[in-house]
Amino acid sequence: MAMAMAMASSLFVFTYLLCFVPLGTEAGGSITSLVSKELFNAIFLHKDDNACPAKDFYTYDSFIRAARRFPRFGSTGCLTTQKREIAAFLAQISHETTGGWATAPDGPYAWGLCFKEEVSPQSDYCDSTNKEWPCYPGKSYKGRGPIQLSWNYNYGPAGKALGFDGLRNPEVVANNSLIAFNTALWFWMTEQKPKPSCHSVMVGKYVPTKADLAANRTAGFGLVTNIINGGLECGIPSDGRVNDRIGYFQRYAKLFNVDTGPNLDCQNQKSF
């Protein structure tokens, strides 16, 4: 049984990648060759509009500098896999920071990176039971940056990994463009068990555990949504938030001239 499951997982990984590169191979490519400034601006048509509170905050230079800090991002696997991962990342951060609406100019999926911090948070996002990353008095760990980093147990380790005090100075994520992109890519690239990293899912390195198989957590863009916000969005038929993420991904995949791969939603998945 164990051997059969392993063979099935390996077969799925191979078919998901849709390219002939041995698992673990990194093709190396330059992030600027895959995401030019012109493409970045075509993706984020309205991020610097006056209507966007994050106007002029999310710069191409900051994105590129952050991506270079995580050299496996957008460079693992074949060219199709590399482009698909970048498109998936940009789609997820676009939903997290969207300023779009149904009848928005150029469509709702042209309005990513419009916000840099959560508006009217319902709490300070402090998990007081977490003793490893204790909240600092008077600080809010609300969503900030491209991935809308939230909770003290994310701010703490993100700051430790990236060189800032995430618990005492969480505001820096909304005040420094490079740190903001760094936190988003840190979250994307970092495994937080029992969750795999978003990166491992999108490049075909994710191998489901028995618990994953029982929860129908199957590799694809939908699993990335589950990692990011599955507790609120997954296991729900036709959830509007999930569909918004998918809409961004479909638009960006076309701009990168790649397919989206299977399993776009997480409506049949249990959250982690």
Q: How far apart are CA 144 and CA 96, in angstroms?
A: 9
How far apart are the C-alpha atoms of 176 and 162, rounded to whole Å? 13
Radius of gyration of the chain (CA): 18
**CA 227 to CA 8: how far, in whole Å?**
22
96 catalytic, yes or no? Answer: yes
Q: How far apart are CA 224 and CA 199, in angstroms?
A: 9
Residue in 26, 38, 96, 118 annotated catalytic: 96
Q: Cβ-count burial of 38 within 10 angstroms (0-12 exposed, 13-18 middle, 19+ buried)?
A: exposed
Rounded to the nearest 10 degrees, how much is the dihedral formed by the CA atoms of 229, 231, 233, 236? 160
In which residue are the tokens 């920071």 written? 97
Per the omega criterion (within 30 degrees of 0), is the bond before 194 cis?
Answer: yes
B/e letters for 126-161, b = 16+ CB within 10 Å, e = fewer, are beeeeeebebbeebbbbbbbbbbbbbbbbbbbbbee
Tokens of 250: 């479909």
What residues are labeled active site? Answer: 96
